[in-house]
Amino acid sequence: LKATTKQALWLLVYFALLLLPPALVLLAPRPAARELWRELSVGLAFIGLALMGLQFIPTARLRPLTNLFPVDDTYFVHKQTSMLAFLLIAAHPLILFLFNPNTVLLLNPLTAPTRAVLGVVAAIAVAGLIATSFFRIDLGLKYEPWRGVHTVLAPAAVILALLHMLGVDYYMSLPWVRGVWIALTVLWLGLLVRTRLIKPLRLLRRPYRVTSVEAETRSAWTLTLEPDGHPGIEFMPGQFVWLTIGRSPFSLREHPFSITSSAERTDTLQFGIGEAGDFTSQIGQVPVGTTAYVDGPHGDFTIDHHRGPGYVFIAGGIGSPPIISMLRTMADRGDGTPVWLFYGNRSWEDVYCRYELEALEQRLNMHLVHVLEAPPTDGQAWEGEVGFVTAEVLDRHLPPDRNGLLYFICGPLPMIRPVTAALKTVGIPGKQVITEEYEMV
């Protein structure tokens, strides 16, 4: 099946799961309808909860999905649809309060029936999920505690919501409606159990060892792992994994990193890691021999999925790892497809794999353009570009038949946005541009 067909099928499953509960309520025999506002309020909550439950799918790291949809798009959609789910769920009590002000009394846990208390706590859990995700940085919440909160609140919210619905026992009094909701909840929680329990158990049997950690630039390291007692993983160049170092695979302290090594080699895995925060700034101190776990590979940011007559890679700083993997793999495969690499960095000392890129230029049909904010001032004439990867820089180096090429951009969002705009300015259609953003929340 073509990737687009598979994507369409997955979306079909997604919408079917979303619309199944309300559609069944509408199509099958049901209890007598109540006031319109009450039915509307319940209907919105049903759709909101179904949408919320679906959020367990994109976060389950199912490889058939992660290898098909770009990771940044997946997390973007997850975030936006979660907000929509929250609004639909919040509409449920608000409509009740509006049309029947007495229902406000249900907010009092001392006098309200248990079913109402469960509903209120479920709604608070959903609000907590949204607030901590949309305002994580403003709330001063670090990534790992945020993940802990997320991992507890998400299942708590759906279980409480289900108990609330069972307690209200209106539509849920129909056995098949009850069956559908219980089955959906089991499916959602099953995905969580798979991600947090079954997958780590499998990873325990496939450990890796750190074989070297080398400083590559002032603030970036090359980490090398070797599989310990198993053949390692096969991956496509440009893919990433979730890496756990020196902790159990059940730990929430796992980070996504792109593989930099060639996909033609599975006996070692290499990563280029830039110092960004508490985990990455300690990477240089990881002792050789430390156990690591590798969950992956994931991602569709790869020339093995997006084949073209030529590739233009654009990286900023430590956004280069997936691109380096693609270049190394192309060199190992003897792939002569023309390649342009625009590599933006602050200074010459920040260029990751600077010498190897020169060597790769000899092995590949590659045009390498370094773009430095501060070019070297050691007296030698700087032959690269100065500043940022702008439309002018792209225009100067891209060939006239640039529209047919495929463009891969990787780095932080503040770099991806202007580069995507610059590509538009030089006439590159959006469908030719593939991006991978190094931020999830």
Q: Which two tokens stand for residue 344?
A: 């933006």
Shortest CB 91 distance to ligand FAD, Å: 30
Shortest CB 278 distance to ligand FAD, Å: 5
Q: Which is nearer to ligand FAD, 91 or 353 (CB)?
A: 353
Q: Of all residues in this chain, which one has the CB nearest to ligand FAD in the complex? A: 277
Q: How far is CA 238 from each of CA 101, 271, 408, rounded to the nearest angstrom?
A: 56, 11, 10
Q: Which is nearer to ligand FAD, 73 or 335 (CB)?
A: 73
Shortest CB 324 distance to ligand FAD, Å: 9
User: Cβ–Cβ contacts within 10 Å for residue 112, how many?
Assistant: 16
Q: Which is nearer to ligand FAD, 160 or 220 (CB)?
A: 220
Shortest CB 241 distance to ligand FAD, Å: 9
Q: Which is nearer to ligand FAD, 272 or 310 (CB)?
A: 272
* Cα–Cα dist 146/129, whole Å: 9
* Cα–Cα dist 299/63, whole Å: 8
Shortest CB 198 distance to ligand FAD, Å: 20
* Cα–Cα dist 62/296, whole Å: 10
E strands present in 259-338: 269-274, 291-298, 311-316
SS3 417: helix
Shortest CB 441 distance to ligand FAD, Å: 6
Q: Which is nearer to ligand FAD, 41 or 67 (CB)?
A: 67
Q: Which is nearer to ligand FAD, 91 or 220 (CB)?
A: 220
Shortest CB 346 distance to ligand FAD, Å: 15
Half-sphere exposure of 57 (CA within 13 A, CB side): 22
CA 263, 264, 268, 273: dihedral to nearest 10 degrees?
A: -30
* Cα–Cα dist 303/95, whole Å: 50
Q: Which amino acid is at 241?
A: V
Q: Which is nearer to ligand FAD, 315 or 428 (CB)?
A: 315
Determine which helix (DSSP H) or strand (DSSP E) holds 367, and give its type and residue range: strand 366-374
Own/partner contacts of 170-173, CB < 8 Å, gap of 24 or more, are 170/31, 170/42, 171/25, 171/30, 171/31, 171/42, 171/46, 173/31
Shortest CB 439 distance to ligand FAD, Å: 4
The residues that touch ligand FAD, with contacts defined as CB under 6 A, are 71, 142-143, 240, 254-258, 271-274, 276-280, 318, 321, 436, 438-441
Positive or negative, the Cα torsion across 414, 420, 423, 427?
negative
Shortest CB 322 distance to ligand FAD, Å: 7
Q: Which is nearer to ligand FAD, 253 or 397 (CB)?
A: 253
Shortest CB 287 distance to ligand FAD, Å: 18
Residue 304 and residue 312 in contact, taking contact as beta carbons nearer than 8 Å: no
Q: Where are the alpha helices (DSSP H) in 67-174?
A: 71-99, 114-134, 143-168
Q: Which is nearer to ligand FAD, 295 or 385 (CB)?
A: 295
* Cα–Cα dist 63/71, whole Å: 11
Q: Which is nearer to ligand FAD, 311 or 438 (CB)?
A: 438
